[in-house]
Amino acid sequence: MEKDFDVNFYKKILDCVQSNIYITDTETDTIVYMNGYMKQTFQMEHPEGKTCWKTLQRGMTGRCPFCKIEDLKKAQKGKSCVWREKNTVTGKIYMNYDRLETWNGHTYYIQNCVDITDRLQLSMEASIDELTGVLNRNAGKKNLEEVLNGMKANDQFTVALYDINGLKWVNDTYGHIEGDRLLVFVAQNIQKELEDSDFVFRLSGDEFIVCFMHKDLAQAETWMQKILKTLEERRIAGSMAYDVSFSYGLACIYGGESLSVSDVLSIADSQMYMRKRSHHIMLGRKRLEQEKEHGENFSLYSYDKDSLFKALSETIDDYLFMENLKSEECMYSYKMMMDFDLPGQVVADVATVWSEKIHPDDMELFLQSYQEIKAGIVERHTVAYRARNASGEWVHLLCRGRLVRDADGQPAFFAGIIRNLDRKNALPDVKKDVAPEIAACDERI
């Protein structure tokens, strides 16, 4: 170090540092030094000799409860600490770097306060879902990962995955602006009712994750049911003309399980799926009751269903199918049986039979759509895929079907048409609806 530098030079350097630096006497809590930058920040000309907690904070009647002096005294000599504080005078958030130093028999408390308010604001903005105002996927999964990594063997918390019921219907009926309003309405009301330690984030689309840090399954269940009632009350007060609800799944996570974020989300998703299926069954029952009330009962008309199926099969170019979802038996038109070398017009275990004929690249799409119908998640089915015909050729097919439920609202019957899109003049009739799917199939060949 240059021997000719005097104390005034060092003070000049400290005054220029863009950080708040001050020193107090640990016995009296009086300020013995403050750099020029901090004097400007706190608008103080001569802070020396004044008590720090009276000058640098508001509403204190004694040493600040968050002061680190006593902790540093107990710590190993030369130990420093880093902590965050929102100052009551400036309203700014600081990262504080504190340590104790001894000089001429006196112990002094030295603090360097760095303003991180703007940095935190930028970080917060990057962590927030732009539409709903809750944490976004990346920030939420990071929070969840931190919770999992910090768990001890006896710790536990509960996670809920929920998705909005009827969002597609709201979008189709009232427009996407109203659909967005529904997403915001639910997310904001949930966030408003959470405890400080809990958090919610948007996983994707209409799926959200809620983490309850201090609730078991029963308590979380009670909370979810209560928020559903709250949403209904606020929906009425807000003059929202449609149902506002969600399906959800709950999972209790224990510290000794060593689960990843993906594991937790998968568990919650499986629980939510079962509840979602129950929700659709309930809706099916309501629809049946409404149909009965309005006289929509077709059983009054008597006809031979086998003759009807045969007559329709011989008068339209498309293939027909009717499936009993409970027995998993499906009847196909005679032409379909011949064109695709099916074992008969009535096929048992239809998913297995078709899985041997569908192009491998289209298999996931086909099975997913089929399972949604079987589980009663959707009422209608439209899917384009390729299947190998009796000549060994890959043929583009478009399947459209409708779900019929039994008296209990359970999926019972599935029927519709299958169109050969490669047949001359078949494509123009459906080009608008399925051209993207066909293009995707062609691209994969």
Residue range 242-295, pLDDT digits in tens:
889 888 888 888 887 778 898 888 888 877 766 665 555 555 555 556 555 655
The CATH number of domain 128-293, selected from 3.30.70.270, 3.40.50.720, 3.20.190.10, 1.10.8.50:
3.30.70.270
Q: What is the pLDDT of residue 280?
A: 53
Q: Looking at per-residue confidence, does 275 or 202 come out higher?
A: 202
Q: Give mean pLDDT, residues 231-247.
A: 89
Q: What is the pLDDT of residue 94?
A: 93
- Cβ of 327: how many Cβ atoms within 10 Å? 9
Residue range 311-337, pLDDT digits in tens:
676 667 789 898 988 888 888 988 888
Q: Give mean pLDDT, residues 348-372.
A: 84
Share of residues in the chain with pLDDT > 90 (%): 38
Q: To which residue do tokens 């559903």 refer? A: 228
Q: What is the pLDDT of residue 123?
A: 66
With both helix axes pointing from N to C terminus, report the angle between 176-193 and 217-237 in degrees, rounded to the nearest 10.
Answer: 130
Residue range 13-25, pLDDT digits in tens:
888 888 999 999 9
- Cβ of 267: how many Cβ atoms within 10 Å? 19
Average pLDDT taken over every residue of the chain? 83
Q: What is the pLDDT of residue 25?
A: 95
Q: Looking at per-residue confidence, does 422 or 438 come out higher?
A: 422
Q: Which two tokens stand for residue 77?
A: 């000599």
**Has residue 444 got a pLDDT over 50?**
no
**What is this structure's pTM?**
0.45
pLDDT band at residue 428 under the 50/70/90 scheme: very low
Question: What gap in Å lies between CA 36 and CA 19, rounded to an integer?
Answer: 9
Residue range 103-149, pLDDT digits in tens:
998 999 999 999 988 887 776 778 899 899 999 999 999 999 999 99
Q: What is the pLDDT of residue 158?
A: 93
Q: What is the pLDDT of residue 430?
A: 42
**Chain centroid, CA 18 distance in Å:** 41
What are the structural domain ranges in the chain? Answer: 7-118, 128-293, 302-444
Q: What is the pLDDT of residue 174?
A: 87
CATH 3.10.580.10 is right for the domain spanning 302-444:
no
> 331, 342 in Cβ contact below 8 A?
no
**Has residue 443 got a pLDDT over 80?**
no
The answer to whether 128-293 and 302-444 have equal CATH topology is no
**Has residue 408 got a pLDDT over 80?**
no
pLDDT band at residue 441 under the 50/70/90 scheme: very low
**Has residue 431 got a pLDDT over 70?**
no
Q: What is the pLDDT of residue 121?
A: 78
Question: What gap in Å lies between CA 226 and CA 435, rounded to an integer?
Answer: 45
Residue range 26-75, pLDDT digits in tens:
999 999 999 999 999 999 999 999 999 999 999 999 999 999 999 898 88
Q: What is the pLDDT of residue 285?
A: 58
Q: Which two tokens stand for residue 305?
A: 């269903």
pLDDT band at residue 401 under the 50/70/90 scheme: confident
Question: What gap in Å lies between CA 132 and CA 186, rounded to an integer?
Answer: 9
The CATH homologous superfamily to which domain 7-118 belongs is PAS domain (3.30.450.20)
